[in-house]
Amino acid sequence: MELQITSLNKTYSNGVQALKDVTLTIPQGMFGLLGPNGAGKSSLMRTIATLQDADSGTVQLGDIDVLQEKDAVRRMLGYLPQEFGVYPKVSAETMLEHVAGLKGINNRRERKEVVAALLERVNLFDVRKKNLGTFSGGMKQRFGIAQALLGNPRLIIVDEPTAGLDPTERNRFHNLLSEIGENTIVILSTHIVEDVTNLCQDMAIICLGEVIAQGHPAELVDQVNGKIWQKSIEKAELEQHTAQYRVISTRLQGGRTLIHVYSEDHPGDGFTAVPADLEDVYFTRIGERMEVTAI
């Protein structure tokens, strides 16, 4: 099964065009959707999750028309939005059993068994009797994934799932997502490049509502390899270098500013070649899109 998105458009009542002719093919496994805040990622996720209508275009999940057969999609969908609320005075076990009932698991014994297995899978079984209001951010995220996994969904959407997690929780979450992605379509919407690098076999970059790159991460990196150059400069020199070179990213290192520049040829002036990574791809493509918009 695959998810096929074709020429999808969405404009909100305030005139903002959130999606512009978005076309993507998303196969089984982990698929990364990268983009800055406000790029249109959440709008796309909400449309696929049947939470809002598109103005035009199609979304096909196997033989199901996502935009027309919303009830059928919801039976096959697990969704973890960027922000989701929990009932603070309800235990994880009680809440999951309630959601399982809403998902159609009506047999009480089966429901308890399913909930127990899910809590074990997300490493929350030992705290199943505790109220959700006592959970840390990482525990709430894992509880959210448990909710999303109820009913054995064929499509799972997770929107910015690791934002705000500490390194241990983030690593645990990565492992869980990787395991889920072995047999399911999992769309990981994020602005964290490292998450896509570590988890995804296929990906797309979206900016200002448009898909500006898609493919296998390694293939996208190959497209810019040999064209990324690095130099350490004083902070005061940044404006001059930005005017003279195509600076795609900057970061502080040891009190100096480390810049990455995109150039087909050696830019000279103390630059050294560095192996490209997915972050270089991301900043190069986003920069290109922003330059077009500015013209």
Give the domains, in start order, of the chain with CATH numbers. Answer: 3-215 (3.40.50.300), 222-294 (no CATH)
- Please answer whether residues 192 and 162 qualify as being in contact, where contact means their C-beta atoms are separated by less than 8 angstroms: yes
Give me the pLDDT at residue 240, please.
94
Residue partners of 233: CB distance under 8 A and separation at least 6:
241, 256, 257, 259
pTM of the model as a whole: 0.87
Percent of the chain with pLDDT over 90: 68
In the predicted model, what is the mean pLDDT of residues 25-43? 92
Residue partners of 22: CB distance under 8 A and separation at least 6:
5, 7, 8, 9, 40, 44, 57, 206, 209, 210, 211
pLDDT for residue 161 is more than 90: no
Reduce the DSSP state of residue 79 to 3 states and report it: strand
pLDDT for residue 151 is more than 90: no
- The pair of structure tokens assigned to 219 is 């293939």
Integer Cα distance of 46 and 148 in angstroms: 15
Integer Cα distance of 30 and 72 in angstroms: 22
Confidence of residue 293 (pLDDT cuts 50, 70, 90): low
Residue partners of 204: CB distance under 8 A and separation at least 6:
24, 31, 32, 33, 34, 211, 213, 214
Amino acid at 59: V
User: β-pairing, 17-26 with 29-34?
Assistant: unpaired
H-helix or E-strand spanning residue 159: strand 155-159
Give me the pLDDT at residue 295, please.
47
Least confident residue range of 8-12, 178-182, 195-199:
178-182
Average pLDDT, the chain: 91
Strand order in the sheet with 272-273: 247-253, 256-262, 228-233, 272-273
